[in-house]
Amino acid sequence: MTMTHETTLPSSLPRPAHELERLKKPWRRPTGWRYLTRVDNTSIGLLYIGTALLFFLLAGILGLMMRTQLAVPDNTLLSAGSYNQIFTMHGTVMMFLFAIPIVEAIAVFLLPNMLGARDLPFPRLSAYAFWAYAIGGLAFFCTLFFGLAPDGGWFMYPPLTGKQYSPGLNADFWLLGIGFIEISAIAGAIELIVGILFTRAPGMSLSRMPVYAWAMLVVAVMIVFAFPAIIAGTALLEMERAFDWPFFIAERGGDPILWHHLFWFFGHPEVYIIFLPAAGMVSTMVPTIAGTPLVGRRPIIVALVVVCFFSFALWAHHMFTAGLGVMTMSFVSAASMAVAVPTAIQVFGWIATLWRGRVTMNAPALFLAGFMFIFVLGGLTGVMVALLPFDWQAHDTYFIVAHLHYVLVGGMVFPVFAALYYWLPLVKGQRLSERLAQWAFWLMFGGFNIAFFPMHVTGLLGMPRRVYTYPAEMGWAGLNLASTVGAFVLAGGVLLVLVDVVRTLRRPEQPVGNPWHAATLEWLPTEDYGTRSIPHITSADPLWDQPGLSEQVEAGRHYLPGTASGKRETIATSPVSGKPLYLLILPGDSWLPFIAAAGTAGFFLLLTVKMNLTAWACGIAAIVATVAWLWGSDRKQPITEARVSDTLVLPVGARGSASHSWWATIIMLVVDATIFASFVFAYIHISMRLEVCPPPSASLPELRWPLVSGALLAAGSILMLWARRSIGRRRLPWLALMATGCVIGAFLVDLHGYDLAGLAPRAQAWSATIAALLSYQGLHVIVLAVAGPYLAARAWSGRLSPTSRATLDNTALLWHYTTLQGIALALAVHLVPLLME
Amino acid sequence: MRERLFGKLLRGTLPMLVWAAHFGGSYVLVAAQCSPAGFAPGSPHRLPLALMTLVALAICAALAWRARGTLGGGDEQTALLDWAAALTALLAFAGIAWTSVPLWLVESCA
């Protein structure tokens, strides 16, 4: 039996001399100041996790400042203005700079190893996303030291955050900073979807894929559909503040509720975007701790997908008191309760696994137990606030503060700390101290409950959120003091863990091994290049069911035991069954992602403080770095095929819909279309508030203008279709340039039509929403106006060939999308008034 | 894709898409009726909503019936996709039935 198994391994022994040396060379990581050029997932993942934890600490300190202020009645430690900035930054930093980034960061670090890939498919994109987040986030946080931090609450409701009531730069920093960080999150999501679908180990079918990878796939899809709403929302609010386009100003036809919709259509799925990765980590750790496969693995995976769907119907339960009508809100109330069912499937699955196995109460197990207790309590109060009459009473009180902290700290912080204990040995082979873990856990668990449980009562006694102080006669002093004491105890626990982390990471490196006897692939022996060979997988629990896998992989007995091209490589596999498809050559380390990210962050932040010259210098640096980055990619492959095992020869790279970059472009266009749909929603929402549409002072352009514009857009797309068939022909660059002319012409025709119709975005919100739609289309036209000549330049310099045509194929996709978007824009703008009649 | 990725995804999530269509349809129909310029401000017409609910429930019931083998006798070897088709049909049915409860209890917009 052993013999048969041995002989069927993909690669035979002995391995050729120098194979390992050749594999090591391209993966060598630069040190010193060149550390900034690293793009590999391990380095970027660790930096990402470290930065997210730094923001957790900073936001935690802000939380402690709030609790100190509220410890006693009539406290004067902080002024009302400072308190407003601090609570806004506490929420914003925790949600946008800690919670979302850390779940993506852990995925960047863990997933390639867990899936058996050498790296993620777009390492430079990961590096860009990280640096944009780190630089932008730190600069955003520093606004606190200059009194420029936002102060409108983490959900920034207008009209408070409009120019009239927030005239300073504080709100602008939030809008630009957060919009920018969301783009970084979307870049991460695209990377994760393509990575999970196309770079799994051979044989790792979707049904054998780790539950954590399933969770991250679901989460990345949720990011793709949820984040565009807030990107559109922040764009609208910033346009209102910058250009006086009154989207949210009621007296000029706008509606503050529009912001609520856009914010919470992102904001509620975000709770699950944060929770589901934690649930995925729990589903990975629980079987290891119990020493038995996950009970109900398939229902748990299905439950993840169902939560994804349900979560998008819950946005309006944050708006129960906004006066949207009892019937619509009752639908949302019902959906809010329904989401408890798939969540319960997961919780019962974990309990059943622990029940069936033999649980070792080590540090990760303690934190997981804490997670279940706290999260279930948060879920129960969630069902309470899903009830309309109860929510009307509890809304905007400390009951909600208690609920959301039980859900988020229970559902995310405790699992992340469990994960820290569980996966930290991957870094240097050293485990954290079990003795300190006991102390840290009980301090965190006790401190958390002392801090937040009393808030349920303070809320029911009527204490509103966001008050910087309260009079003694309200009777809230004792409970608030208890909360403050609890918060400091909790902070003590966190500090203990972090001290232990630093202490452990300073100890000498030792072999990682498989300290918890886990079943997943990240515990295979790895070096800078990942695993020596990429394993062939035959089970959902490979390290349990495939004995000797570690030794085989390390000996180079599986796929791709060396490098075929002398560059960084991994195997691209099919999305459903995990069959090897082609060899994917990965880009190496580079300064370009760092420069592009720093330039982009600098551009937006400096523009906000009106340092225009420096801002534009940063912007140009970002554009040059991005163009140089793209110019160097999509090269002709150095080899056309590669032997990845004794018998398997794969093509190198792929074209069209088989290529990973094609899929990334498609996902990006889905994001794009969802942002556009959010703008269309704004237009419909504002139109529905009108008695007469168009409003009396406004009109639509005559039909001939959109018809001419549509025809020009279609002509541009046809030219691009022709260009795709003209690789290697002299006409290709001219076709690209003519298509550029068409798309620019179409937009100018549109603008002329609206000019003749007297479009006045400042006059009322209805016209402003049309101007927003046009601006979005204009943004695409600018991108194509750069992309067309860029394509021509690539063609003239011989960089477009049958084997390096991804730039052309992907630009063509963007081109067709812009055509469709332009036509959809015209249809929406002209059809809605007809329907309103 | 040769592996019919999207076909498989559709099979595993079709009941949830029905649930989403029902939820979105119910929300939009009531919102459109109850908006200031709506066609039935005050008390929305509930008959189209009830009909929509019945159709959605019927589709989910049919999908659950088609997957009954998995639900009745599914064992360790049953494919993930079959599980998804079966379980989502049940959950979507429950979700639609539950979401439609306000139709019977609430009469007016406000």
3-state secondary structure of A464: strand
pLDDT band at B103 (very low <50, low <70, confident <90, very high): confident
The answer to whether A263 and A155 have CB atoms below 8 angstroms apart is yes
Burial state string for B30-49 with b = 16 or more CB within 10 A and e = fewer than 16: bbbbbbeeeeeeeebebeeb
User: What is the band of B72 on the pLDDT scale with cuts at 50, 70, 90?
Assistant: low
CA–CA gap between residue B20 and residue B92 (Å, rounded): 9
Q: Does A505 touch chain B (CB under 8 A)?
A: no
- Asked whether the predicted pLDDT for residue A298 surpasses 80, the reply is yes
Distance from CA of A306 to the nearest CA of B (A): 7
Average pLDDT score over residue span A533-538: 96
Token duo for residue A467: 């008050």
Give the separation between CA A530 and CA A523, rounded to whole angstroms: 11
| Sign, CA torsion A277/A282/A287/A293 | negative
Q: Which amino acid is at A149?
A: A
Q: What is the pLDDT of residue B32?
A: 83
Report pLDDT for B74: 53
Pick from A48, A29, A51: which is nearest to A40 by CA?
A: A29
Q: Which two tokens stand for residue A367?
A: 């934190």
Radius of gyration (C-alpha) of chain A in whole angstroms:
27
* Mean pLDDT across chain A: 94
Which of A217, A327, A333 is the best residue to mutate to test the B interface, defined by the most B CB atoms within 10 Å of its own CB? A327
Instruction: Give residue A610's pLDDT.
Output: 83
CA distance A701 to chain B (A): 24
A97: phi then psi, degrees, rounded to nearest 5: -105, -10
Of the candidate ranges A712-726, A762-776, B12-26, B32-46, the one whose mean pLDDT is the lowest: B32-46
Q: Which residues contact A612 (CB under 8 A, 6 or more apart)?
A: A606
Interface check B106 vs A, CB under 8 A = yes
DSSP character at residue A534: B
Residue A396's pLDDT band, with cuts at 50, 70 and 90, is very high
Nearest residue to A584 (alpha-carbon basis) of A652, A529, A656: A652
Distance in angstroms (rounded) separating the CA atoms of residues B19 and B98: 11
On average, the pLDDT of chain B sits at 85
Task: Determine, for residues A327 and B44 on separate chains, whether the beta-carbon distance falls below 8 Å.
Answer: yes
Contact criterion met (CB < 8 Å) for A836 and B37: yes
- Judged by CB atoms closer than 8 Å, whether chains meet at A691 and B83 is answered as no
Q: Is the pLDDT of residue A257 over 50?
A: yes
Q: Produce one character per residue of A155-166: b if its CB has 16 or more CB atoms within 10 Å, e if not.
A: bbbbbebbbeeb
| Whole-number Å distance between alpha carbons of A46 and A40 | 10
| pLDDT at residue A2 is higher than 50 | no
A691 touches chain B (CB under 8 A): yes
Q: What is the distance, to the nearest Å, from the Cα of residue A569 to the centroid of all Cα atoms in its chain? A: 25
Half-sphere exposure of B60 (CA within 13 A, CB side): 26
A581, containing H or E segment: strand A580-586
Q: Peptide bond before A202: cis, by omega within 30 degrees of 0?
A: no
What does the pLDDT read at residue A683? 97
**B110: nearest CB among A326, A335, A657:** A326
Phi, then psi, of A641 in degrees rounded to 5: -145, 160
Other C-beta atoms closer than 10 Å to the C-beta of A428 total: 14
Is the CB of B36 less than 8 angstroms away from the CB of A689? yes
> Which residue stretches of A386-524 are H helix?
388-394, 398-408, 414-423, 425-428, 434-460, 477-505
What percentage of chain A has pLDDT greater than the value 70? Answer: 99
B49-66 pLDDT, tens digit each? 999 999 999 999 999 998
Question: Domains of chain B: which residue ranges?
Answer: 9-105
Q: How confident is the model at residue A411 (pLDDT cuts 50, 70, 90)?
A: very high
Q: CA-nearest residue of chain A to B38? A: A688
Q: Which residue of A has its CA nearest to B93?
A: A338
pLDDT score of B69? 74
What residues contact A614, with CB distance under 8 A and at least 6 apart? A602, A606
A773: number of Cβ within 10 Å: 21
Interface list for B 73-92 with A (CB within 8 A): 78-81, 83-84, 87-88, 91
Per residue in A464-475, is it b (16+ CB within 10 Å) or e — as a string? Answer: ebeebebeeeee
Q: How many residues does chain A have?
A: 837
ipTM over 0.90: yes
pLDDT confidence tier of residue B78, bands split at 50, 70 and 90: low
**A582 contacts chain B (CB < 8 A):** no
CA A94, chain centre distance (Å): 14
* Contacts with A, B 42-71, CB within 8 Å: 44
Select from A364, A366, A214 the least CA-distant residue to A301: A214
The answer to whether the beta carbons of residues A78 and A43 sit under 8 Å apart is no
Tens digit of each residue's pLDDT (9 = 90 or more) over A734-767: 999 999 999 999 999 999 999 999 999 999 999 9
* The length of chain B, given as a count of residues: 110
Contact A306 B1 (CB under 8 A): no
Q: Which residues of A touch B4 (CB under 8 A)?
A: 576
Q: Which residue in the set A312, A331, A693 is minimally distant from B99, CB to CB?
A: A331
Residue in B80, B95, B109 closest to A325 by CB: B109
Cα distances (angstroms) measured from residue A597 to each of A591, A620, A766 = 10, 12, 36
Nearest to B83 among A302, A326, A327 (CB): A302
Kindly list the domain boundaries of chain A, sorted by start residue.
Answer: 44-505, 675-836
Residue A89: closest CA among A160, A137, A133, A129? A137
Chains A and B form CB pairs within 8 A to the count of: 114
Q: Nearest C-alpha of chain B: how many angstroms from A547?
A: 21
Give dist(CA A532, CA A564) in Å, integer.
Answer: 13
Contact A635, A779 (CB under 8 A): no
Domain A44-505 CATH assignment equals 1.20.210.10:
yes
Strands A649-651 and A580-586: unpaired
* Partner residue facing A305 (CB), from B13, B26, B98: B13
Long-range contacts of A694-697 (CB under 8 A, 24+ apart): A694/A766, A694/A833, A695/A253, A695/A764, A695/A766, A697/A760, A697/A763, A697/A764
CATH topology of domain A675-836: Four Helix Bundle (Hemerythrin (Met), subunit A) (1.20.120)
Of B36, B88, B101, Cβ closest to residue A306: B88
Tens digit of each residue's pLDDT (9 = 90 or more) over A63-108 = 999 999 999 999 999 999 999 999 999 999 999 999 999 999 999 9
pLDDT at A657 over 90: no
Q: Which residues of chain A have a CB within 8 Å of the CB of B38?
A: 688
A338 at the B interface (CB within 8 A)? yes
Residue A459 tokens read as 């809320």
Closest CA to A70 of A451, A448, A400: A451
CB contact under 8 A, A305 and B84: yes
| Residue A3 binned pLDDT confidence (cut-offs 50, 70, 90) | very low
Alpha carbons A691 and A669: distance in angstroms, whole number: 35
Helix (H, G, I), strand (E, B) or coil at A429: coil
End-to-end CA, chain A: 77
Q: Do A331 and B27 touch (CB under 8 A)?
A: yes
Residue of higher predicted confidence among B36 and A582 = A582
Residue type (1 letter), A631: W
Q: Is the pLDDT of residue B39 over 70?
A: no
- Cross-chain Cβ contact A302/B94 below 8 Å: no
Residue pair A765/A158 in contact by the 8 Å Cβ criterion:
no
The pLDDT score that the predictor gives to residue A605 is 87
Report whether A432 contacts A498 (CB < 8 A): no
Lowest-confidence pick of A3-7, A365-369, A435-439, B90-94? A3-7
Q: What is the pLDDT of residues A549-580, one digit of tens each?
A: 999 999 999 999 999 999 999 999 999 999 99
A649-651 and A568-573 as β-strands: parallel, antiparallel, unpaired? unpaired
CB atoms within 10 A of CB A344: 13
Task: Among A366-375, A809-818, B71-80, name the one with the lowest average pLDDT.
Answer: B71-80
